[in-house]
Chains A and B, each alone.
Chain A
């Protein structure tokens, strides 16, 4: 194939060697065909690989769920914790050894339902973690029950008549709680996602990248996204670059969502503040 300006990205991607970062002995993975998790995993790898981080030092922490199984397949220091608690474990790891780059992988149920408390407090504390939140709008692993991001009226195995609860806007929640880098991407815009994750890695503070991804088996099937491709097309048709999104009227924004870096505002980082405290008090008797 001849490489030109329009296909260079695809060509690069096709020839990308992921094997260095993957624990090949544990493949095949447990994910369903057409699941978005593999797309995010590859994007994570490309972001980490291009970040210049020392691969021996990179730590990856996850909770419980389909998405959280990502850690096992990636060849770093990986920690698969309990449901909802990835950020708590990650906080301990990062606080104990601030020189280690720590990324966290979590699902919408993991991070926002059972782990909601840790989510807002990690944002508030602004500890230097990068959270990649796989938002498939459903509890995938347990068989498709509705989650805090399942849209109103959607069908799930515990909302057979349509979900009556409103959904969280993850990014608004993160901004409100004090995260210093907040971005949203999709599995459709996979290469753009690399840059969003990379931005999170470079941010000194708590970063969150929401990834709108597909669970064709439990969400798509029940909600008019009959195939994985249809789910990706839905993303293409509803995601709007943030600059453009902000110029749209509320009516035009209805049903659409912004992608890109939504918020990036530095604040003092937790470990740096702790270090200042140590410098101030060390050597003091009491």
Chain B
């Protein structure tokens, strides 16, 4: 399923194939690794875990040959710490993991939110809780991605569907991390992570790359966390003449810990605002046949492919079914969803878990709209028939 892309989607790393490039036949995790390098990632730290390990394996071969750094750390906590260190040194940095590893990363992920260190976390979702089902598909980390680390914090999480889209959204994940100076999570699942499909790999010149803005020249008054109307600070890479302090404690604009309630409130508000005020820029979704739909399917990642199959069959039977597929999962594209759902009497949320995204959808529906779920957590994918019988 590679749906036709709009111009707006192309601007967001959409697939309107660029003039130069080539089709390649790639595995999802492999596409992710290749795209990371294309996006400028030059630092990887990780710890092996199925079904994400191929990302590390490919990067262990790619990075040393392109001026990058690859290190296998002693655990996921260390890996998350190491990419923060690597990013503060000025490199675009990433790690890849799966459910249990994401659980371990949470404290340092919060650190990256708080200290505003750009980085990308790939989570190839598997079954849980606990060790769960290492090589079976699941989509149970939706809320962990949003709220896994403690305290209020902004979250950006993307959920590509096809392997081609994994390539493009990996690049977008790096661009957003650098643009907003925050961790960005890319949620794959065992299905699209391990699937092989054709992928349009554009020529390097045709890939839009966002780099961190450079800080003002060093001066004694340098404030690493200066509050300006862009809301995103301009941290200098370590060792380039600035000598400032980075901490996970509540801090002032100088980066130094503070107990001043006003300064603390200002920091927390800015951290949330710097994402929430740019929701339109972050918004990314696909809508199929929603104009006349009285039943709206909501699905993302590989489940959206089954939803698409069900939609086609249902339409051929004359049923008015549409699909809303969030690609940016967090912040959830609320406005676009509400529009897509405006005519729907029924909303059916398909997800490989026991009901997580449905909570968000229930929050966004209007009175009188009926919301129900197609859910599965037995390690088997949701198939089109399972959805079709509910339409």
List chain A positions with a Cβ less than 8 A from chain B.
Answer: 23, 26, 55-57, 59, 61, 71-72, 75-82, 85, 87-97, 99-100, 117-118, 121, 274, 277-278, 281-284, 286
**Contact of B65 (CB < 8 Å), options: A72, A96, A282:** A282
Residues of B within 8 A of A57 (CB): 239
Interface status of B223 (Cβ within 8 A of chain A): no
Q: Are B78 and A96 in contact (CB under 8 A)?
A: no
Contact residues of B between 37 and 78, Cβ < 8 Å to A: 43, 45, 61, 64-65, 67, 69, 71, 73-75, 77-78
Interface status of B245 (Cβ within 8 A of chain A): yes
Q: Which 3 A-B pairs have the closest CB atoms?
A: A92-B85, A88-B81, A92-B82
Q: Are A88 and B239 in contact (CB under 8 A)?
A: no
**Contact of A91 (CB < 8 Å), options: B77, B78, B241, B242:** B78
A96-B69 contact given A79-B88, A88-B77, CB 8 Å threshold: yes
Q: Are A95 and B69 in contact (CB under 8 A)?
A: yes
Q: Are B243 and A97 in contact (CB under 8 A)?
A: no
Q: Are B107 and A82 in contact (CB under 8 A)?
A: yes
List chain B positions with a Cβ less than 8 A from chain A.
Answer: 43, 45, 61, 64-65, 67, 69, 71, 73-75, 77-91, 93, 107-108, 111, 237-249, 256-257
A281-B65 contact given A75-B243, A78-B246, A97-B90, CB 8 Å threshold: yes
Q: Are A95 and B242 in contact (CB under 8 A)?
A: no
Nearest CB on B from A198, distance (A): 20
- Nearest A residue to B42 via CB reads A96
A72-B111 contact given A92-B82, A93-B238, A97-B239, CB 8 Å threshold: no
**A92-B45, A92-B89 known, 19 other contacts, Cβ within 8 Å:** A23-B256, A72-B256, A77-B238, A79-B88, A79-B245, A80-B249, A80-B257, A81-B248, A91-B82, A93-B88, A94-B85, A96-B87, A96-B93, A100-B89, A117-B78, A121-B78, A278-B67, A282-B67, A283-B65
Residues of A within 8 A of B69 (CB): 95-96, 274
A281 to B65, CA, bound (A): 6
Nearest CB on B from A109, distance (A): 16
Residues of B within 8 A of A76 (CB): 243
Residues of B within 8 A of A71 (CB): 245
User: Can you list 30 pairs linking A and B with CB atoms under 8 Å apart?
Assistant: A23-B245, A57-B239, A61-B85, A72-B245, A78-B244, A78-B245, A79-B88, A80-B246, A81-B84, A82-B111, A85-B78, A85-B81, A87-B78, A92-B43, A93-B86, A93-B88, A95-B43, A95-B86, A96-B69, A96-B86, A96-B93, A97-B90, A97-B238, A100-B89, A100-B238, A117-B78, A278-B64, A278-B67, A281-B65, A284-B65
Nearest CB on A from B101, distance (A): 14
A117 to B74, CA, bound (A): 7
Q: Are B64 and A89 in contact (CB under 8 A)?
A: no
Residues of A within 8 A of B74 (CB): 117-118, 121
A56 to B256, CA, bound (A): 18
A20 to B80, CA, bound (A): 33
A117-B75 contact given A82-B107, A92-B43, A286-B61, CB 8 Å threshold: yes
A144 to B91, CA, bound (A): 39
Q: Are A92 and B257 in contact (CB under 8 A)?
A: no
Nearest CB on A from B200, distance (A): 21
A286 to B43, CA, bound (A): 19
Q: Are B84 and A89 in contact (CB under 8 A)?
A: yes
Residues of A within 8 A of B107 (CB): 82
Q: Are B245 and A88 in contact (CB under 8 A)?
A: no
Q: Are A77 and B242 in contact (CB under 8 A)?
A: yes
